[in-house]
Amino acid sequence: MHELTSILSSWSQCEARGGSGVLATVVDVRGSAYRHPGARMLLTSDGSRVGSISGGCLENDVATKSWWWTGGGKAVVRVYDTTSDDEAVWEFGLGCNGVVRVLLERLDTAASKALIAFLNLCRVERKYGVVATVIGSPSPDAAQIGDRWFLEPDGGTAGSITDMMVRDWTEAEADAALLSRRSRLLTIPHSLGPVEVFVEVVAPPVNLILFGAGPDAVPVVRLAKEIGWHVTVADARPSYAQSRRFPEADRVVLTQSDRPLGDIDIETDSVAVVMNHNFAADRNVLTGLLAFNLPYIGVLGPLARTERILSDLNIRQFPNRLHAPVGLDIGGDTPELIALSILAEIQTALSGRSARMLRTVALESRTSVEPSDRIPLCA
């Protein structure tokens, strides 16, 4: 979401100056590629670029030709086949051994303006949404490339897909994608020929809540904001819970010992880390947090200490969503490396990954992993 926020901000500034832009979006990957479907890059008329669609392989070619490709105002899909032995592959510096399809569209059309408004809505409200985009069609009578259907954060729907068969299939798949929180490529059978639709789940920033505003919380906040997360810091100590100590944080909250969660809006998708360095304070916070079905709760400190807290709370079975000691074993003990290990474990837990070395995963998955889930291998 950090990349998307930068793209939306840059486009807003460009549009205010009367500039124009092209948005490039990865909509399909077969084989191996550096970026996954949903990756975006903004090209503006003043020559700037924001975001990326590859590891640097495709950007120059897209920047050079996208204005010409979209000159008629219609969205187009370009295919980059990095598995080919063609000289162009080596000219572009490609070597990812995959096929990447990129949707290109001018940002001054009604369709693209609707997309920008939808992405802004998801970002501002910090809620999930789904945008389904037609990326392949046998005829304009079925659908046109760039036609869209939106499943908005409040559950409402809207869009420009008019064919009832295509719309019904798309709506059903959008609901399923939102439920599973996974984007997908949909091929819809049609009397005129198959229609391809990229169903993309637009996720809000990770909502991280830190309970404990000690010195070791500072690098956690800084690194979390660097990767685009929404961060709240809470502490019952007035000298610690100060905005000047955490200038990057979205919010700093002074709690009370009898209200350890304060007035923080704890949403279902929130993640929390408890690091007060005070047994009673950590116990009070954990008591409140365990009442919510959060996907991740981390507790700083030895395992025996957390087990004692659970014993005090009469909880005999260690909850799977509770991570203590917090963090991955990456071999570091400085505040910055501890912060890195904490954020890495949160990301691992949220994505359902194993936190193994990519080399090991790639070697094991050569023949067993579906194309859309392959690990990026290019540098």
Residue 367 is predicted with a pLDDT of 57
Residue 207 is predicted with a pLDDT of 95
Q: What is the pLDDT of residues 78-124, one digit of tens each?
A: 999 876 655 444 455 455 667 899 999 999 999 999 999 999 999 98
- Cα distance between residue 183 and residue 28, in whole Å: 10
Orientation of helix 2-16 relative to helix 110-125, angle to 10°:
130
Residue 374 is predicted with a pLDDT of 38
Task: Give the rounded distance of the alpha carbon of 1 from its chain centre.
Answer: 5
**Cα angle at 201 between 197 and 204, to 5 degrees?**
155
Asked if 276 and 252 touch (Cβ cutoff 8 Å), the reply is no
H/E segment holding residue 247? none
- Cα distance between residue 30 and residue 16, in whole Å: 38
H, E, C per residue of 198-232: EEEEECCCCEEEEECCCCCHHHHHHHHHHCCCEEE
**Cα angle at 287 between 284 and 291, to 5 degrees?**
145
- Cα distance between residue 27 and residue 160, in whole Å: 18
Domains for the chain: give ranges and CATH numbers: 2-108 (no CATH), 127-202 (no CATH), 207-351 (3.40.50.720)
Burial of 116 (0-12, 13-18, 19+ CB in 10 A): middle
- Cα distance between residue 351 and residue 204, in whole Å: 14
Q: Rg for the chain (alpha carbons), in Å?
A: 23
Percent of the chain with pLDDT strictly greater than 90: 76
Residue 151 is predicted with a pLDDT of 95
Orientation of helix 303-312 relative to helix 279-289, angle to 10°:
60
226: pLDDT strictly greater than 80:
yes
Residue 146 is predicted with a pLDDT of 95
Asked if 178 and 201 touch (Cβ cutoff 8 Å), the reply is yes
372: pLDDT strictly greater than 70:
no
Residue 43 is predicted with a pLDDT of 96
- Cα distance between residue 319 and residue 277, in whole Å: 21
Q: What is the mean pLDDT of residues 242-259?
A: 95
Confidence of residue 371 (pLDDT cuts 50, 70, 90): very low
Residue 90 is predicted with a pLDDT of 41
- Cα distance between residue 251 and residue 365, in whole Å: 41
Q: What is the pLDDT of residues 7-61, one digit of tens each?
A: 999 999 999 999 999 999 999 998 777 789 999 999 999 999 999 998 888 889 9
The tokens of 174 are what? Answer: 């959008």
Residue 200 is predicted with a pLDDT of 97
- Cα distance between residue 345 and residue 212, in whole Å: 18
Write down the pTM of the prediction.
0.83
Residue 274 backbone class (left: φ over 0; alpha: ψ -120 to 50; beta: rest)? beta
Q: What is the pLDDT of residues 144-163, one digit of tens each?
A: 999 999 999 989 999 999 99
Residue 366 is predicted with a pLDDT of 67
Residue 376 is predicted with a pLDDT of 37
Residue 363 is predicted with a pLDDT of 82
Confidence of residue 193 (pLDDT cuts 50, 70, 90): very high
- First CA to last CA distance, the chain: 22
The tokens of 173 are what? Answer: 């798949």
Residue 129 is predicted with a pLDDT of 96
- Cα distance between residue 253 and residue 264, in whole Å: 8
Residue 265 is predicted with a pLDDT of 87
**Mean pLDDT, rounded, of the chain:** 90
Confidence of residue 260 (pLDDT cuts 50, 70, 90): very high
